Structure 1
Amino acid sequence: MILRLLKLLQLVISQLQNYTLLELMLIFKNIKMKKRIVLFSLFVTLLSCNDALEIVQKGELNDAALFTSVANMQLFLNETYDRINTENDIQVSSLLTDEVAIGSGLTVNDTQRFFMVSTNGFAGNIWNTHYNLINYCNRLIRGAALYTPTAAELPAYNSILAQTKALRAFAHFQLLTYFSTDLSNDMAPGVMIVDFVPSINEDAPRSTTGEVFEFIESDLDYAEANLISPTGANAYKFVNNNFIKSFRARMYLYRKNYAQALVYANDVIATSGRSLSTSTVSVANFPATSSAIVPQGTGTGSTTINIDPGATFPIQRALYQVDQWVSATSPVYRKMWVDADQGEILFALDRPINKINFSSRYNTNGSYLTGGPLYDMGRTLFNLYTNPLGGGAEDFRRWCFVDRSASISTTPGTATRTGEVIVIDKYPGKSGGHTANDLKVFRLSEIYFIKAECLVRSGDLVGAANLIRQVRQARSYTGGVVPLPVYSNVTSAIADILLERRKELSFEGHRYIDLKRLGVDASVSGTDRYAQDAVNSSATSPVNISNGDYRFTLPIPQSEINVNALSQNPGY
């Protein structure tokens, strides 16, 4: 018994860094989660007892003592929101596709080399973080059953449960997205459905994809029927009507239920209260007047760097600190990315300063040349942003997603890693913090793409083209009228939608699943990585991977297979 307790204590200590002091105060010794999730009860008992085998302590804060009011339920829900984590999802999508190259501040990364095994840390983190959120949701649902609300409290009580079940559904969906071999095949292997708080000795089987979606639908039905949609400036950072409708639109699209996806996409566009964020810049002669061009380097691969003449370091900070970029007349699209305006965001994860500095996943200290770039923007993606949109319109994403301090080579095919550094600036920080940004989960532009794809599947190529044109028009900073795309067939239409999704939704966690879903239909070969962006090229470390490659589904973590006897995905 003592050895068993000591072994479990080691598991507890190894996971403590994932939890905050408030969580410990709220749930103290009662948090337990499947296998490797922290067993707070054991930790507290072992540290506070004279007898390590004495489990029950006087005055302990268990479920019955905690869930005694709707107010306490709300406190636990607030902590549950903090468990939502898409950081690993976003980064693995960048590394396993063509979004990034290894930056000057990093030597090598096995995932970016397409070297995927069952012990891959990103895959393990995606699995663990989403099941961690599920565990929090299940604890809240179980605890809520211990309290009987008054008639006056019942709507708020049910709304808390509605938000909780919506978050639980979202976590299961994210797991399916990365670990199911085929989201449109109900019989494909899915993930574990966990609708209870498991004990350390309980296992959960791997359900089929169809069974998991049935469970998700049930949770969303409850959420839709019982949610009191929040109001106020920060309402979009909580489960709201737009979250549920956007979630359903994306889910049905991935399931190839295009009729239902279209219903919810139309609903969001008509009722969300948001519009596509504009990119028009009022600064005269932008971008030339906002920086000086300073040559750097000589010979083959020489580069130029844009330096703000009025600053002591590159202009990156100026794009949101200078008054012209955060004023009422500044481009809403830029203000949205520095968290100064909701813009077209339908749901975002709140990431205040000094909490989770996601930008550091791409740039160590800040998204500028001297900020320690870990990953550069992939050259093929950068080239897309430099292309005119047509009709005299130029793409603002070139200046919004690439820092002005970036080192752009005139001969990229021979440039060294330090000779070309295309600094990713999609997460530029916010006022007061260089590396903190909210994570945008659902945006209106994605809903336009969902609707466009649904229209293509139904044969309305012109209707789809008009939606793509509207998004491109909103990204023009020069004015002009973006021409209507002309699609000769379904393949060309899907290819253009995939292209626009690549540009608009880069570094938001979409590219990986988009290539898996649409690569064949768009007649693209797979990833589109520039040769110089690969760490090296060999049979085991290719420049690109093709459609149908087993790596477009992540491996079930080996540690989970060891303790839970789950079947592994093909190829691993």
Structure 2
Amino acid sequence: MKLFKQLTLFVTFLSCMGIMSSCNKYLDVVPKGQQVIESTNDYYNMVALPNRGYPINNFQYLVDDMWIKESYVIGQPKSIDIVNFTFDEQFNRPDLLTASSFYNQCYSYINRWNMIITLVDGSNGDDPAKKVLAKSEARMLRAFDYFLLINVYAKSYDPSTAGTDGGVCIMDKYDLEATPKKSTVAEVYDFIQKDIDESIPNLQEKPVDPYHPSLAFAYALKAKVHLFRKQYAEAKAAALKSLSYNNQIFDLVKYTSQGGPTALPTTAANNPEVLSFMYMTGYNEMNFAYTYIISPELKQLFGSNDARFNLFFTTGPSSFLDAGSGTAFWNVPYTKFFYPTVGLKTTEVYLMLAECYAREGNLTEAMNIVNNLRSKRITQASQAQLAVPATTKATMDIIIQERRKELLFGFNRFFDLKRFNLEPDYAKTIVRKFPIVNTTVPQQTYTLQPNSRMYIIPFGQDVLRKNPSLTLNTNETIPFR
């Protein structure tokens, strides 16, 4: 019997896969389940994976936008949250990272995409077009997962060093005996780009459901990859192409006048900005307010008339945050409003396009895009429109601020800090004074330098144990070697 006839799949594939423990044994466990995977349609349906999650707990506090309740730090034993929040660069993080849920999730998904890509051609069915579509969609999602991996576990793409900077393991086919080596940052980006470019000609403008990647999503991801590679002309072209398929913006100003999420709940399917349905923690994310506290700096950045803050955040009083800290937390359940945190959406595409225009010196067009977005975010019309700055840097500063307010939570700010830190004009030293409220311990000032090794997350111990050839991309020490 052919191998694909032996494969089985639970309805909840992710949970049955468990945790992927290493990049050289990422196919250790053949999924067991209830449905035999043998037809072309079975493989095509495997592309859809509702509730796909990307936990950010290994790096969520390495940004200037997130905050933590003081009692979770003061007097507590070292944890990765505390090490990251206090920018403790002297601490050897692999000692705490016994495993990485983000890493393991990404590779479990890659395993799924590789299974489709490798086996669908041998499946039962006489629909060659569907086989091509299944492979193309799986390649597009594989590209997305590798983009996330390379931007978490490696240095941000630097054209001058990407050819030698350490990256992650590339797995391009379903192979139980695979023993891949770590590739460079350039090699991983080339692989991502190849997957995207080979997939796009076969994708659909309107897939069968929102869990299959659309052309708008594909071109948005292409734009993002080119943007991170500093290929601005290519990024601009891809962003424009994405917006030709979906250019909608959810009008939060109108939504405010309608009563907001309490009066008019908006699920994912009713948010036209959403280009991909995926989550940090699962379908009910944003329900756990204590993990989604924004910093005083970000809170002040919103100002008083920004619907992105006024509709969704609260400053208390609440046990979720410290009164008087100047922080705020997300206070709208997922049943009232779906906010895409890690997936792509149209407003990110607009901001990528604005950045491309700014980079090429077309400041007027860049600000037209920004002001169009702000007209649907700022409830005071007189404050929504900003003048065109005199310089590229001043325009970019505005775009970066809008990215912070528009692309909340998830990994976007972490990725942005890493890539902008390679440019002297936009590099930022994060300064954090803590605690703000508690007076039983002295306040300290913590700083995260633009070139800090903390921006590169170490691989987990479980991965390092099972692949002795895998090395860290930082100068930290592996505890057991």
Pairwise TM-score range, normalised by the shorter structure? 0.7 to 0.9
Whether 1:215 and 2:203 are equivalent positions in the alignment is no
Relative contact order (C-alpha < 8 Å, sep 6+): which is higher? 2
Q: CA deviation at 1:68?
A: 2.7
Tell me what 1:225 maps to: 201
Q: Distance in 1 between matches of 2:128 and 2:143?
A: 22
Q: Report SS of the residue matched to 1:359.
A: coil
Name the aligned partner's letter for residue 232 of structure 2.
Y
SS at match of 1:94: coil
- Please state if 1:383 is matched with 2:310: no
| AA at the equivalent of 1:359 | M
Matched, 1:181 2:155: yes
In our comparison, the structure showing a higher alpha carbon Rg is 1
CA contact (8 A) 2:167 2:182 kept: yes
C-alpha displacement of 1:339: 3.4
Q: Deviations over 1:385-442 (max 9, x none)?
A: 125xxxxxx211221231374569xxxxxxx9355484422763215xx9x8765511
Residues 474 and 480 of structure 1: is their aligned pair in 2 closer, same or farther, counting only changes over 3 Å? same
The 3 A distance-change label for structure 1 pair 544 and 122 is farther
| 2:140–2:213 contact (8 Å) kept in structure 1 | yes
Can you list the C-alpha shifts for 1:61-100, whole angstroms capped at 9, x where unaligned?
Answer: 9xxx94431222134333xx24843232xx5553111222
Alignment-mate amino acid for residue 60 of structure 2: S
Give the Cα–Cα distance (whole angstroms) in 1 for the partners of residues 286 and 231 of structure 2.
35
Q: Quick one: which of 129, 142, 157 aligns to 1:155?
A: 129
Match of residue 344, structure 1, among 242, 252, 273: 273
Per the alignment, in what secondary structure is the counterpart of residue 570 of structure 1? coil
How many angstroms apart in 2 are the aligned matches of 1:534 and 1:268?
A: 46
Seen in structure 2, the aligned counterparts of structure 1 residues 426 and 231 have a Cα distance that, compared at 3 Å, is farther
Tell me, in whole angstroms, the C-alpha distance in 2 between the residues paired with 1:244 and 1:35.
29
Q: Which residue of 1 aligns with 2:407?
A: 505
1:550-569 superposed matches below 5 A = 550-564=453-467, 565-569=469-473
Q: 1:398 aligns with which of 275, 286, 309?
A: 309
Unaligned runs of 5+ in 2: 1-7, 477-481
1:257 matched residue in structure 2: 231
Contact 1:461 1:490 in 2 (8 A): yes
Please give the alpha-carbon distance, in whole angstroms, between the structure 1 residues aligned to 2:389 and 2:261: 38
Matched, 1:139 2:42: no
Query: Which of the numbers 334, 346, 351 marks the counterpart of 1:429?
Result: 334
Distance 1:355 1:507, change over 3 A: closer
Asked if the contact 1:83–1:129 (Cα under 8 Å) also holds between the matched residues in 2, the reply is: no
- The match for 1:244 is 218
1:445 aligned partner: 347
Work out the CA distance in 1 between the residues paired with 2:218 and 2:173: 22
Structure 1 residue identity aligned to 2:293: D
Task: Confirm or deny that 1:86 pairs with 2:27.
Answer: no
What residue number does 1:417 align with? 322
Distance in 2, Cα, partners of 1:510 & 1:27: 29
Cα distance in 2 between the residues matched to 1:378 and 1:27: 37
> Is 1:357 aligned to 2:284, yes or no?
yes
Shift of 1:518: 1.6
Q: 2:25, 2:466 within 8 Å by CA — same for their partners in 1?
A: no
2:187 partner amino acid = E
**More displaced 10-residue stretch of structure 1: 131-140 or 115-124:** 115-124
TM alignment of 1:359-374, pairs within 5 A: 359-360=286-287, 363=288, 367=289, 373-374=290-291
Q: For the structure 1 residues 569 and 241, does the alpha-carbon distance in structure 2 shift closer, same or farther, using more than 3 Å as the test?
A: same
Work out which of the residue numbers 68, 81, 86 in structure 2 matches 1:113: 86
Distance 1:123 1:403, change over 3 A: farther
Q: Secondary structure at the match of 1:191?
A: strand
User: What stretches of structure 1 of length at least 5 have no aligned partner?
Assistant: 1-18, 45-59, 287-317, 327-334, 368-372, 388-393, 409-415
Residues 256 and 164 of structure 1, relative CA distance in 2, 3 Å threshold: same
SS of 2:268 mapped into structure 1: coil
What do the CA deviations read for 1:139-196 (whole angstroms, capped 9, x no partner)?
222321322642xx12122111111111111111111111221313330222111012
Aligned equivalents of 1:488 and 1:242: distance in 2? 33
In structure 1, the residue corresponding to 2:417 is in which secondary structure?
helix
Partner amino acid, structure 2, of 1:341: N
**Residue type of the alignment partner of 2:376:** A
Give the TM-score normalised by the residue count of structure 2. 0.80
Closer/same/farther in 2, CA of residues 239 and 119 from structure 1, 3 Å limit: farther
* 3-state SS, counterpart of residue 249 of structure 2: coil
1:40, distance to aligned residue in structure 2 (A): 4.1
1:192 to 169, 172, 194: 169
- Quick one: distance in 2 between partners of 1:506 and 1:528? 20
Separation of aligned partners in 1, 2:474 and 2:152 = 13
Q: Give the whole-Å Cα distance in 2 for the aligned partners of 1:535 and 1:237.
A: 45
Give the alignment partner of residue 492 of structure 1, picking from 379, 382, 394.
Answer: 394
Within the alignment, does 1:70 sit opposite 2:40 as a pair? yes
Q: Does structure 2 retain, via aligned residues, the 8 Å contact 1:118–1:555?
A: yes
Q: Secondary structure at the match of 1:441?
A: coil
Secondary structure at the aligned position of 1:348 is classed as coil
Change (3 A) 1:535 1:198: farther
Do 1:253 and 1:261's aligned partners in 2 also have CA atoms closer than 8 Å?
A: yes
Contact 2:40/2:130 (<8 A) preserved:
yes
- Once the two structures are TM-superposed, the CA of residue 449 in structure 1 deviates from its matched residue by 1.5
Deviations 1:17-39 (A, max 9, x none): xx9953579999xx998556574
Residue 166 of structure 1 contacts residue 219 of structure 1 at CA under 8 Å; is this kept in 2? yes
SS in 2 for 1:98: coil
Q: Conserved in 1, the CA contact under 8 Å of 2:286 and 2:334?
A: yes
Give the length in aligned residue pairs.
451
Partners of 2:322 and 2:437 within 8 A in 1 = no
Q: Is the 8 A contact 1:449 1:501 kept in 2?
A: yes
Give me the whole-angstrom Cα distance separating, in 1, the residues matched to 2:312 and 2:151.
26
Instruction: Provide the C-alpha distance between the structure 1 equivalents of 2:188 and 2:438, rounded to a whole number of angstroms.
Output: 38
